[in-house]
Structure formats: structure tokens, C-alpha cells
Amino acid sequence: MSTFTASLPGGTWTLAGLEVTRFGYGAMQLAGPWALGQPADREGALAVLREAVELGITHIDTAEAYGPHITNSLIREALHPYPDALHVVTKVGATRDDQGGWPTAREPHQLRRAVEENLETLGLDVLDLVYLRMGDGEGTVPGSLAEALETLADLQQQGVIRHLGVSNVLPEQVAEARSIVPIVSVQNRYNLAFRRDDDLIDSLAQDGIAYVPFFPLGGFSPLQSEALSAVAARLDSTPMSVALAWLLQRSPNILLIPGTSSVAHLRENVAGARLALSAEDAAELDSIGR
């Protein structure tokens, strides 16, 4: 493992005993367009994963649905046997169809098979952290997650999962999940322009629970804002760097997993997130999502 871990922006966070860098890597973009099929540049995808580890990143986020089956296989090819400090976390609860949709897959037999597939494709005996993904491809959906989460809790008791999280969930679903089993992390859509979880982030921080924003840079529609551009120009930086730095400074429990299929872009993301935002900068940025 690289000696550069301590120099990564944001330092580290402990997930119930698992120390991870707050600046992580999301592997969704390693598959083909819209996270389907093989990457256009397989060697380039492998190089990105190896560079992430060389930079000191110890938190890689994936899912068997990416590809499907592609991203996990790339991670295994690039990094197995995994360094002791590296933690690969995954998600279950959705699959893919031929049209690129994300059909739910939360019946007990589907969840058990999904966990088995993640273990197989990643080459692991135990998964460090598994998120139960709720909602659908359009976003969060109200409803109980009890049956699905209890299935994963049973697998946790069997020793094939260390820790559990929830993803694409409403605050009331987070509360329900925490009444069933310890939750170490919540992964939801959140960025400068989409701020619905502000209160949830603050309450989770008080309880020592991590919050991992997906689409931290806007996802398939990159963030665009006059205020963001103005702050970036003032700091002689890029809007995306400013957006990442803002997230790290927003709350200490926020863990970043920006994705990219480019080594150069990965390095730019790490460097950009080191920006120090003044109180004036932060106030101007805060106005974007209000």
C-alpha cells in the first residue's frame, strides 16, 4: 500500500473498525457507457484501479450490477490479492436489463445470490461492507426495507458480510434500518445542487455514521452553476475541484467516491479536492442548493 494515504484530502474515517480514506474511488464508470458492457479501454481501466491504490486510496465502491459483472472482474484482475488496508464495498438490491434499466432484485433468494456473486467475482471470502440499494433507477421510493435488510443481516450473522449500509433511501428508511441492525454508512444522491439530505447528514455525523454521496459531481449531467464557476475562477481552479472540496468540508462524515476511467482525471480529482475554501467561498456555494 502506498505511503501517500495520509496526504489524501480529508484524511480518514473509521467504519466500525474499518479505516478508510475519505477520498475514495467509485468504480461505476469502469464498465462501458451507462455502466453496461466492457470498457472501451480495458488496460486503461485496470490502470485507473492500480493508480488509485498507488495514490493511497483505501475505499473502492462497486456493484455486481455494473456491467453487469464487468467492474468487479476488473477490480479483481487489477488488485487481487488485495492489500490489507484496501476495502472494497459493494451494493445489492438491483440488477440490469437489456435496455439499461435497473430492475429491483430484493427478494431473499435474489439478495443471497447477489452476495454470492460479489464474493465470486471479487475473489473474497467476506465482504467488508454491503449496501442494500432501495428505490429504483429514478430515485428513492417510500416503503419498508425490513425483509430485505433482515436477509442481509442473516448473511452478516453467517460471517460473509462484516458491515451493512443502505443506499438510495429516505430518512425514514434509514431510521427503520437502524432499528433492525447497526448501519455504518448511508449512500445517497447528494451534491452542491441536490441538497435534500442536509439534515440527514448532520444527524448521521452526530452518531458517527458515514455518508457517501453518489453523483457528487452531478452524475450523467455535470454540475453547472454561475456561483460554482465564479468561486472556481476566483481560486484559479475548476468547478469540479471546487465541488469535491466543498463536499469534504461540508461534514467530516462525508466520504467521496468520484468515478473516472482516466488516470489523469483521477489525479486531477485528488489534487482538486485539496482546495481550502474560505468562509466566503462556502457561503456562496451553499446558496446553490438552497
Which residue intervals of the chain are DSSP H helices? 42-54, 70-79, 108-122, 146-157, 171-180, 198-206, 226-234, 239-250, 263-272, 279-286
Say which residues have a Cβ less than 8 Å from residue 152's Cβ, sequence separation at least 6: 92, 111, 115, 130, 132, 161, 164, 181
Exposure on the CB side of residue 185, measured as CA atoms within 13 A: 34
CB 152 within 8 A of CB 132: yes
Cell of 127: 465482504
Q: Which of 25, 66, 131, 190 is catalytic?
A: 66
Distance CA 250, CA 245 (A): 8
Say which residues have a Cβ less than 8 Å from residue 217's Cβ, sequence separation at least 6: 191, 223, 240, 243, 244, 258
With residue 21 as reference, give the H or E element that holds it: strand 18-21
Cell of 7: 496526504
Which residue intervals of 125-194 are DSSP H helices? 146-157, 171-180
Clarify whether 25 is annotated catalytic: no
Query: What residues act catalytically?
Result: 66
